[in-house]
Chain A
């Protein structure tokens, strides 16, 4: 347990007859960035809230080794509170020193005179992240940290999360954004209907699913994408076919797909 930040064993949670978590077992190492991944309703927020102590669970054990900081989703502050007031209030609750410089570090210093309901979605997310860090927690929980953000906001928040990781913080995030998880996380748990469909690294997931490639071809007739597990054979066949039909290739790109595509494939296999 020394190197583990969180240990989860046999975690079960139901709402009436609806089983949301069917008995989860996993560990999160100290300093690790760990993702709970799944489609809406997969149980990731429930699992996260059980670990945070915000939700009671039916059975199982959760052992947390360190001080927690929790970034709640948006709309969890009073509409008329100002960022500086929220920082001061949270600092007093956590018996920590009030440090307004964190607002500057998170790029929301210019919002200090605005009320919470006047902040943009990105500013709210960054404020919630800043508030979660009050008291210098060891483990930081992030629930869909970039949901609703534009590209610039996502990049900025990803930078903040990477900085926290470089400081040795353990980060646990729930997301349904595969690309985000692929970029940020060391390990992933994929939840499907309250059960663990996969636990490991992104590379291990790819190994488990297979070497799927995507071939994108642009011709005068339009754009086409082909999926294959046998890249060499498919490429030879495609090029041969196009040459035979005297169709000129304008552009061609090969990639290995995103985690999202792998996840869809995994969910499809589970259903079958």
Chain B
């Protein structure tokens, strides 16, 4: 257990040293928040009631879908994974430590947004904070599980950049955080429902924490666990 906790703490530090995760989990989401937060609340003052949730969906999507996968490719797409076997530790340890580390990074960014948004843009705080943070934790977990699948299945960074964008952009554009989902054609709305951002956004809204918004995120998580487990089992057997 001691080794596991040290591994998570060390991974957290390595993530900060790795510029890609620093950029995708902190710098870009927070700059986006500072710029768009001002624009959104100036142009449409009513967005103040959902600004925190919108900015969090953007931040989590970027960190989970663009930030996490390269770290996984660095380990599981190379000989680094042999280190686990050579030291008698399970091959999934790297995935678990990177997942938990990214979870903490994203949670910190989200807390910063929750703290700054009311002060800077007079955004409304969620009315039920415990449910909000529970919904946030579930949404981050679900998004990171998709990032984990991408990082384990895609074999090189160039392909990953393209595929990650194919997941990230519709997540943002079709989730309802930029404009009301009712304005979209039915086809695009249906596509938007495929991505966890759509459900995570609704789950975090005031009075949004109920099963209809929750089940899909849970299904995604368990499906991703099965896919990751299968991929890692194959890698172990090679």
The interface centre, meaning the residue of B2, B74, B82 with most chain A CB atoms within 10 A of its CB, is B82
What chain B residues lie within 8 Å of A78 (beta carbons)?
14, 74-75, 80
Do B3 and A76 touch (CB < 8 A)?
no
Do A79 and B86 touch (CB < 8 A)?
no
Residues of B1-33 whose CB lies within 8 A of A:
2-3, 6-7, 10, 13-14, 17-18
Q: How far is the CB of B229 from chain A (nearest CB, A)?
A: 18
Q: Complex Cα distance A75/B81, Å?
A: 11
Do B75 and A92 touch (CB < 8 A)?
no
Main secondary structure of the interface of A (DSSP, over half): loop
Q: Complex Cα distance A93/B78, Å?
A: 20
Asked if A253 is an interface residue, CB under 8 A from chain B, the answer is no
Q: Complex Cα distance A83/B179, Å?
A: 49
Closest residue on chain A to residue B81 by CB atoms = A76
Q: Complex Cα distance A70/B78, Å?
A: 17
Residues of B71-110 whose CB lies within 8 A of A:
74-75, 78-80, 82-83, 85-89
Asked if A2 is an interface residue, CB under 8 A from chain B, the answer is no
Asked if B159 is an interface residue, CB under 8 A from chain A, the answer is no
Main secondary structure of the interface of B (DSSP, over half): helix
What chain A residues lie within 8 Å of B6 (beta carbons)?
88-89, 92
Do A52 and B18 touch (CB < 8 A)?
no
Residues of A64-106 whose CB lies within 8 A of B:
70, 72-73, 75-81, 85, 88-90, 92-95
Closest residue on chain A to residue B16 by CB atoms = A80
How many A-B Cβ pairs are below 8 Å?
Answer: 55
**A72-B86, A80-B14 in contact; A56/B238 too (CB < 8 A)?**
yes
What chain B residues lie within 8 Å of A115 (beta carbons)?
17
Do A94 and B14 touch (CB < 8 A)?
no
Asked if B186 is an interface residue, CB under 8 A from chain A, the answer is no
Q: How large is the interface on A (under 10, 10 to 19, 20 to 34, 35 or more residues)?
A: 20 to 34
Closest residue on chain B to residue A92 by CB atoms = B3
Q: Complex Cα distance A90/B6, Å?
A: 11
Closest residue on chain B to residue A91 by CB atoms = B3
Asked if B182 is an interface residue, CB under 8 A from chain A, the answer is no
What chain A residues lie within 8 Å of B212 (beta carbons)?
none
Q: Mark A38-58, 1 if CB is under 8 A from B, else 0.
A: 000000000000001111100
Do A76 and B74 touch (CB < 8 A)?
no
Q: Name the one of A73, A79, A88, A92 contacting B79, with C-beta atoms under 8 angstroms.
A: A73
Do B17 and A76 touch (CB < 8 A)?
no
Q: How far is the CB of A39 from chain B (nearest CB, A)?
A: 21
Do A90 and B80 touch (CB < 8 A)?
no
Please, could you name 13 A-B residue pairs with CB atoms under 8 Å apart, sorted by A? A52-B86, A54-B85, A72-B79, A76-B79, A76-B83, A80-B14, A80-B17, A85-B13, A89-B3, A92-B3, A93-B87, A93-B89, A115-B17
Residues of B within 8 A of A (CB): 2-3, 6-7, 10, 13-14, 17-18, 74-75, 78-80, 82-83, 85-89, 237-238
